[in-house]
Amino acid sequence: MTPSTRRIDRRTFVRDSATCLATSGIALSSGGHARGESSGATTEYFDAHVHLTQGWYGPERGPLTAEAMVRWMDANDVGQAAVLPLVSPEAFWYPISTDFVLRETARFPDRLVPFCAIDPRTAGTHLPTKAELVGMLKRYQDAGARGFGEHKPQLPIDDPLSMRLYEACSEVGLPVLFHLDNAANMDRPGLPGLERVLTTYPDLPLIGHGKGWWASIAGGLVQEELHVGYPRGPVAPGGAIDRLMEKHGNLYGDLSSSGAHAMMRDPEFGQAFLARRADRLLFGTDYYDLMQKSFAQFDLFDEFTLPDDKRVAISRGNARRLLYGE
């Protein structure tokens, strides 16, 4: 095993990352963060997928406040986290609005990165023109939103209303994080609907997440398998994700939720996939519930041996490139 591919723990990686930044001439503040736009530059993770929630379905499961989120981040070496609203009625137990996310994240601007969301059906009622959609997205962007999502309507992924949203996001410059299974952004095995979106909007970064998305690392799927949270066994060749990533440079994957399991179900495949697609994968946990105690995503770099540059890309570099242009 060469020094560049050694297996290291998370704490050691944080230490080594700080050393690399210091020796490269990046000034550090007294708090250990690089000066500039991101105070989380020297910490290990940028979590691309979390939610702030309210206590509407029991005090034991909420609220997950901004303060509680930052404490959890501190305990887990997470420097920054993208906070996603959930506005579609199928997406959550209750709506988590963009305004709520913008307001709550404003207290921790160096740590919590707000996204925005619009239910695509609004494009058929209250925002019927492209100018109106673009205008609302720009207002969200001006208020601090760095991306769009979690996009989770109970519509086909290439539904005409969603296509109008993608067009507006592409014009404004907001990457889209979408959930895909048989109940949200529905598609068929092989993901032909997603490919239509990728082809139509080649400049729009699309970040995949969800049961159907991660099931699609494997080939030979039937429709029902796009809704299995944790498929088991070896990954059959011919998966749509690898094929689409090879063909479309605007496709990315969010490793939250079932993403870590997708890598670990077939370690040989997972090792090769992480190395092959390191420039397209974003670390994430989908933390939204105080009762969540275990996150397999934190084990990925202990389970798999990756060169330092690929590990940094997945853990935070790709997210910062997409959201900050770094």
Task: Pick the range with the lowest mean pLDDT from 15-19, 73-77, 134-138.
Answer: 15-19
Per-residue tokens: 183: 């109940």
Q: Does 172 reside within a domain?
A: yes
Residue numbers of the domain that contains 114: 45-324
Read off the tokens for 91: 């997406």
Please state, as a whole number, how many other Cβ atoms lie within 10 Å of the Cβ of residue 237.
Answer: 10
Residue 282 within any structural domain of the chain? yes
Q: What is the rounded radius of gyration, in angstroms, for the C-alpha atoms of the chain?
A: 19
- Percent of residues, the chain, with pLDDT higher than 90: 76
On whether residue 32 sits in a domain, the answer given is no
**SS3 of the chain:** CCHHHCCCCHHHHHHHHHHHHHHCCCCECCCCCECCCCCCCCCCEEEEEECCECCCCCHHHCCECHHHHHHHHHHCCEEEEEECCECCCCCCCCCECHHHHHHHHCCCCCCEEEEECCCHHHHHCCCCCHHHHHHHHHHHHHCCCCEEEEECCCCECCCHHHHHHHHHHHHHCCCEEEECCCCCCECCCCCHHHHHHHHHCCCCCEEEECHHHHHCCCCCCCHHHHHCCCCCCCCCCCCHHHHHHHHCCCEEEECCCHHHHHHHCCHHHHHHHHHHCCCCEECCCCECCCCCCCCHHHHHHHHCCCCHHHHHHHHHHHHHHHHHCC
Lay out the sheet containing 251-254: strands in order across: 45-50, 78-83, 112-116, 147-151, 176-179, 206-209, 251-254, 281-282
Query: How much of the chain, in percent, has pLDDT values that exceed 70?
Result: 85
The chain-wide mean pLDDT, for the chain, equals 87
Would you state the pLDDT for residue 10?
40
- Number of domains making up the chain: 1
pLDDT at 194 over 60: yes
CATH code at 305? Answer: 3.20.20.140
Q: Is 142 exposed, middle or buried (0-12, 13-18, 19+ CB in 10 A)?
A: exposed
pLDDT digits 0-9 by tens, 21-48:
333 333 222 233 332 333 344 448 999 9
Any domain includes 250: yes
Counting every residue written for the chain, the total comes to 326
Q: Is 3 domain-assigned?
A: no
Residue 14 lies in a domain: no
Mean pLDDT of 108-119: 98
Residue 208 near residue 245 (C-beta atoms within 8 A)? no
Contact 319, 46 (CB under 8 A): yes
User: For 69-102, how does the pLDDT look when each residue is reduced to its tens digit (9 = 90+)?
Assistant: 999 999 999 999 999 999 999 999 888 999 999 9
Task: Indicate the pLDDT class of residue 221, thresholds 50, 70 and 90.
Answer: very high
Q: Name 114's bridge partners.
A: 83
Which region among 12-16, 66-70, 212-216, 251-255 has the lowest average model confidence (pLDDT)? 12-16
Does some domain include residue 121?
yes
What is the C-alpha to C-alpha distance for residues 96 and 83, in angstroms, rounded to an integer?
11
Let me know if residue 27 belongs to a domain: no
Give the alpha-carbon dihedral of 211, 214, 218, 219, to 10 degrees. 70
